[in-house]
Amino acid sequence: MRVQSGQYAGQARISKSGRSLLRWALYHAAIGAARTVAGRARLATLKAKRRGDRFAGFKALVELAAKQLRVIWGVWRSGTPYDPARAGGLRRQVR
């Protein structure tokens, strides 16, 4: 694999480590988040950095799920209330 300056040259796949039910729940939560305005924008950004990859949409959703997990973990560990301003646009949309 040819690597340009500043790019990662690791594996081009997503591992299936961890609990499958948790991965499933996080993936579906990311699909729900991607239906919001902010989620669509974040998803488009994540897809754009993988141009040329035929699985870019799937990988971007998984990366969005990982971001949600980091936010949830941080809120749980710190014990502070959720602050959407610190989460980088992961806001709940009012219907």
Q: What tens-digit pLDDT sequence spans the chain (95 residues)?
A: 455 555 655 555 667 888 889 888 999 999 999 998 888 998 999 999 888 888 888 889 999 998 888 888 989 999 988 887 776 655 555 55
Q: What is the pLDDT of residue 5?
A: 54
- Please state the pTM of the whole predicted model: 0.71
Residue 71, C-beta contacts closer than 8 angstroms, at least 6 positions apart: 82, 87, 90
CB atoms within 10 A of CB 67: 19
Q: What is the pLDDT of residue 13?
A: 60
